[in-house]
Amino acid sequence: MPEVESLARFLQERCVGKTIARVDLAAFSALKTYDPPLLALHGLEIDDVTRRGKYIDISAQGLHLVFHLARAGWLRWKESQPEAPARPGKGPLALRLVLADGSGFDLTEAGTQRKLAVHVVAEPMDIPMVATLGPDPLGADFDRAAFAAVLAKAGRSQLKGVLKDQRTIAGIGNAYSDEILHAARLSPFKPANSLTETELSTLYDALQSELRNAIKRAEGLAAKDLKGEKKSGLRVHGRKGESCDVCGGTIAEVSFADSSLQYCPTCQTGGKLLADRRLSRLLK
Ligand SMILES: [Zn+2]
């Protein structure tokens, strides 16, 4: 989410007050709504760009262009967009937005998974995934008590899943949930309602500082540099086999069917290796 927050700020600086000249759809599967049509955005002036969880909401005179980049999606800002409309094709381009001054952005998606999602709505709450978003961890009212209530409600669910669940807390993905748990020195599999008061405070502080520091690091970076910055700022996520920069131990991994998590056994689980969920399922 920090990079989505940074992207929203980046777009806010460049788009607010400008008029949408046109929006081209290059990957039909990306557009999840049909009424109002994309065409309805043409000629509207952008009045705000905000983040809702991991979604970016571009608001223009009563309509909203809301998109979720998903894992392989990204936004490329262009000072000068081509004049010819983008054609549907096999490339990574999903959608192109052109402003009246000729600048704009492309939404692209690498690989073959088609997860990038674009919605055109009058009311963002009409998008089910937006309507069910939990509280924003960077919101003014998300204090320690609000976080304690979220964890209590999650019962014995594991911390990793609770942090990542957009309906519980909006905006934290696979990478930052690993980082937050590492900073708090807590096992990803610890039940949410089993934390001591001290652990709860530590986790709340880690959540706030990991997200805010990542946003600070990304400040002022161009959209194209945000992904690289995200990767270099991570201390455990995606770093299996590397040494932990807190304790020097080796970072370990747990694999699931379609994702994995990384953690430091020395810092987080008292040296104990967590069972690999994918392997143990195969062995049964
Ligand atoms: Zn460590």
Q: Give per-residue pLDDT as tens, 110-130.
A: 887 788 999 999 999 999 889
Ligand 1 mean position, distance from CA 281 (Å):
27
Please tell me which residue, 87 or 162, carries the higher pLDDT value: 162
Q: What separation in Å is there between the alpha carbon of 183 and the centre of ligand 1?
A: 9
Q: List alpha helices for the chain, DSSP H.
A: 2-15, 128-131, 144-154, 159-164, 174-184, 197-218, 226-233, 265-268, 277-283
In the reported structure, the alpha carbon of residue 248 is separated from the centroid of ligand 1 by a whole-number distance in angstroms of: 6
* Ligand 1: centre distance to CA 234 (Å): 13
Distances (CA, A) of 152 to 134, 149, 187, 196: 14, 5, 17, 12
**How far is Cα 98 from Cα 105, in angstroms, rounded to an integer?**
7
For 65-78, the pLDDT digits (tens) are: 999 988 788 899 99
Crossing angle between the packed helical segments 2-15 and 197-218, to the nearest 10 degrees: 40
Which position has the token pair 């979604």?
A: 55
The structure's pTM equals: 0.81
* Per-chain mean pLDDT for the chain: 90
Q: What local confidence, expressed as pLDDT, does residue 281 receive?
A: 52
Distance, CA of 147 to chain centre: 19
CA-to-CA distance for 178 and 86, rounded, in angstroms? 38
pLDDT tens digits along 13-49: 999 999 999 999 998 889 999 999 999 999 999 999 9
**Ligand 1 center to 122 CA (angstroms):** 47
